[in-house]
Structure 1
Amino acid sequence: MSETFFSPCPRGLEQFLVDELRRFGAHDIETVHGGVQYGGDWQLAWRTNLESRIATRVLWKVGRTRYRSEDEIYKLAYATTWAKWFTPEQTIRVYVTAIKSPLKSLNFTTLKIKDGLCDHFRTVTGKRPSVNTEAPDMRIHAFITEDSCTLYLDTSGEPLYKRGFKPAKVEAPLKENLAAGILLLSGWQPGQNFLDPMCGSGTFLVEAAQMSLGIAPGLGRSFAFEKFRHCEQAAWKRVRAMVQQQRKGAQALPIFGADIDPYQVAATEENLAAAGFDHTQVEIVVNDVIDLEPPADEGVWASNPPYGVRLSTGDELAEWYPKLGDTLKKKWAGWNCYLLSADTELPKLIGLRASKKTPLMNGDLDCRLYEYKMLAGSARETFR
């Protein structure tokens, strides 16, 4: 039976998500800003959760109505057959997103959806589920326009950019699905040289390594749909095993990382180890990007450098960006370099004309991905 799903993703990466969904067998694909609606069976939903590098969630459409008041939204929540899909012993949380809605209070609307769901359970089972705002078993999402309300049951649980490892946390995190999208935007392919010279917690490096070895990003975690009453566990295990078999054996990869901060390098090494990689596969060094020598004649260089809303002061950054531009011109001939920034002024200080500027969202930050294609030059053999 075909179901309807919606997957949000970082704005600017919708087409890459469409490409993934087509590979997984989706049909009736419709793209909107920040997400994709599509049709397919449950194996499609499982595969998207397990294999998509771009999706943030997989939401299953379970109800829709036109409304004029909160009471009609309550009736939709009450009429939806929640008890077929999970039990009152499982905890819930309701999320509401609205665009051009005339309703005065989204908090009150959220409460009405929760009441409708709980009243449904009371009628069917005599019990009602409890709310858990921190780690609910079931997440219910409502999308409200000026005249309609659509209800979704979240099949993912934790957002899909949480890959299930990454114990080390650092400041200024880059979401994993955005990092994967930037790799795709750069045109980088597994087997090509890749470097993040300001690697932070190693997000780019882990994503590149997983892509190189055909490791599905969701293999290290669980999903909400596994708790659904109607989940066909045997079929799901077969899909997971099939995806697991696509993983290539351990091998040295042309993937390199550096950071001026030893703590950041240690965090990267910890996160790579948690993802199943070691120093024989991905090489990391402590070094300033200004002093770093290229590890090869050519490749892709991508990073999420400091900018105004993050780590450094404005004066420090104003001095640093011209030095970065000089470094790119002097040392990085033959490399395609990509910088993500939420500051539109600082990249101007690099002193290089970007060949492309791609709008992207990093969480709530409106960013640009700046592309600098450096002309080929002489070979370098050392990475230090």
Structure 2
Amino acid sequence: MAETFFSPCPRGLEALLADELRGFGAADTEILHGGVMWSGEWTACYRANLESRLATRVLWRVGRGRYQGEIDIYKLAYSLTWAKWFTPDDSIRVAVTAQQSPLKSLEFITLRIKDAVCDHFRTVVGRRPDVDTANPAVRIHAFLTRDMVTLYLDTSGEPLYKRGFKTAAVEAPLKENIAAGILRLSGWQPGETLVDPMCGSGTFLIEAAQMALDIAPGLGRKFGFERFRHLDETAWSAVRQAAKGRCKALVPLSIFGSDIVGDQVRRSRENLAAAGLDKCVTLDRADILERQPPSASGVLVTNPPYGVRIGEAEELAAFYPLLGNALKKHWAGWRCYFFSGDMALAKLIGLKASKRTPLFNGALECRLFEYKVIAGSMRDKPRTASDDGTAPS
């Protein structure tokens, strides 16, 4: 029997996620703000967790109803058959989000749902699960609108962008599902040359290499549904084996990374090695303003730094025009993509963005700027009012 699921994702990637989920067997996909509602068999849920590059989680809808006050939410949560899905030995965590709910305290709603689940277990099996807000075995999510509450069990556990292997972090990491979405938006295809000239911890490089080699992003981690009492172990094993069977041999790829900071190159190399991909990607220490492209055409994609500290904005204001000059000088014939929360990039880089795609990195609104660099066409062209990539008024 088909179940109902909701898969949140970074805002701006919902349509791409819906297409991806349909490839795993999802039906009735409904694109919502910040995610996709869909229906499917449990094998589709297993595949979405194991293979989705874009989803943040896969939430299984277990209850839904109208409410007027906290007692209605408690009664709905108490009525669900929690003891059929997990045991009191599994610790729990409850998370609540809301849009236009008249209830004043989400903390109190969280407490009432936790009480309802624990009271259900006391009634059914005589003892209750413990609460663990740091590392729970089972995660329960509630979503409130003006008069409806929906309860979900999290089939993923840790967020799906945590692929399970990255060891060396950077100060402002780019989430893996955003990086995968940006690669999809760029139109990059395996076999086409890809360069990240400010590679940081190597997120774009790892995601691209896994795409090229058809490596499911979740093969190195565990999932929340593996703790469920009704797990179909035979079906789950078949899904994993099928994904493993599609993995291609590890070979050198046309994927290149570099950074001017040697410590960042070290981090990328360490993370690539942890993912088993260090022999597949070429890494160098280089300045983006000086480095040469490895081929006549391809895709350049990067997440440049943007100023948050005193003095950084001034440094970047001087850097962006130099970056534009470097692109015109060295990267003609390339499609170049810059993901940034700094809207000054488009005004100062000196090139006209052919596309500006809004995306969110957590709560931070960003843009993916696309520049198609054509030899000679932009060198002496007068600036226009729309050269920052916005439509002329």
Does the 8 Å contact 2:342/2:366 carry over to 1? yes
Residue equivalent to 2:304: 305
Q: Which residue of 1 aligns with 2:349?
A: 350
What secondary structure, in the 3-state scheme, does the structure 2 residue paired with 1:295 have?
A: coil
Q: State the distance in 2 between where 1:309 and 1:26 align.
A: 41
Superposed CA deviations along residues 80-99 of structure 1, whole A, max 9, x for unmatched, are 11100000111100000100
Cα deviation for residue 318 of structure 1 reads 0.9
* 3-state DSSP of counterpart to 1:128: coil
Partner of 2:60: 60
The residue correspondences of 1:310-325 to structure 2 (distance < 5 A) are 313-325=312-324
Contact 1:306 1:312 in 2 (8 A): no
Structure 1 residue matching 2:300: 3-state secondary structure? strand
Could you state the TM-score of these two structures normalised by the residue count of structure 2?
Answer: 0.94
Deviation at 1:234, TM superposition (A): 2.0
Structure 2 unaligned segments of length 5 or more: list them: 377-393
1:265 matched to which residue of 2? Answer: 265
Aligned-partner residue type, residue 326 of structure 1: N
Q: Distance in 2 between matches of 1:44 and 1:247?
A: 19
Q: Structure 1: how far apart are the matches of 2:143 and 2:150? A: 5
Equivalent AA in structure 2 for residue 161 of structure 1: Y
Q: Separation in 2 of the partners of 1:312 and 1:375?
A: 33
Alignment of 1:2-151 (within 5 A): 2-151=2-151
1:361 corresponds to which residue?
360
Within-5 A mapping of 1:202-351: 202-278=202-278, 280-309=279-308, 313-351=312-350
| TM-score normalised to structure 1 length | 0.96
Pair 1:277–1:121, CA change in 2 (3 A): same
Do the aligned partners of residues 30 and 311 (structure 1) sit closer, same or farther apart at CA in structure 2, a change above 3 Å counting?
farther
- Change in CA separation of 1:24 and 1:301 when aligned onto 2, cut-off 3 Å: same
Is contact 1:355–1:373 with CA below 8 Å preserved after alignment? yes
**Which moved further from structure 2: 152-161 or 300-309?**
300-309
Q: After the TM superposition, which residues 365-384 of structure 1 pair with which residues of structure 2 at under 5 Å, given as runs? A: 365-375=364-374
Where 2:374 maps in the other structure, the secondary structure is coil
Alignment of 1:188 with 2:183, yes or no, is: no
Deviant stretches of 4+, over 4 Å: none
Match of 1:176 in 2: 176
State the shift of 1:311 in Å: 10
Contact 2:346 2:353 in 1 (8 A): no
CA distance in 1, matches of 2:371, 2:190: 20
CA offset digits 1:58-115 (Å, max 9, x no partner): 0000001100000000001100111000001111000001000000100001101110
> Kindly tell me: are residues 312 and 371 of structure 1, through their superposed partners in 2, closer, same or farther at Cα, counting changes over 3 Å?
farther
1:312: Cα distance to partner?
6.9
CA distance in 2, matches of 1:66, 1:369: 40
Matched residue count: 376
Letter in 2 for 1:286: R
Distance 2:258 2:337 in 1: 15
Structure 1 residue runs of 5 or longer lacking an equivalent are: 378-384
1:45 Cα deviation from its structure 2 partner: 0.2
Shift of 1:344: 1.2
Two-structure CA RMSD over aligned residues (Å):
1.1
Q: Per the alignment, in what secondary structure is the counterpart of residue 43 of structure 1?
A: helix
Q: Which stretch shifts more, 155-164 or 280-289? A: 280-289
Deviation at 1:336, TM superposition (A): 0.3
* Preserved contact between residue 298 and residue 376 of structure 1 (Cα < 8 Å): no
CA distance in 2: counterparts of 1:232 and 1:179, whole angstroms: 32
SS of the counterpart of 2:289? coil
Q: Distance in 1 between matches of 2:228 and 2:40?
A: 18
Q: Is the 8 Å Cα contact of residues 216 and 243 (structure 1) preserved in structure 2?
A: yes
**1:259 CA displacement:** 0.3
For 1:235 and 1:6, locate their aligned partners in 2 and report how far apart those are by CA, in whole Å: 21
Q: CA, structure 1 residues 203+106, in 2 after alignment: closer, same or farther (shift >3 Å)?
A: same
Secondary structure of the 1:78 match is helix
Identity over aligned pairs, percent: 64
AA of the residue aligned to 2:313: G
Q: Is the 8 A contact 1:2 1:40 kept in 2?
A: yes
Partners of 2:331 and 2:84 lie apart in 1 by: 59
Query: How far has the Cα of 1:313 moved from its partner?
Result: 1.1
Instruction: Tell me the residue number matched to 1:380.
Output: none
Rounded to whole Å, the distance in 2 between the matches of 1:310 and 1:149 is 41
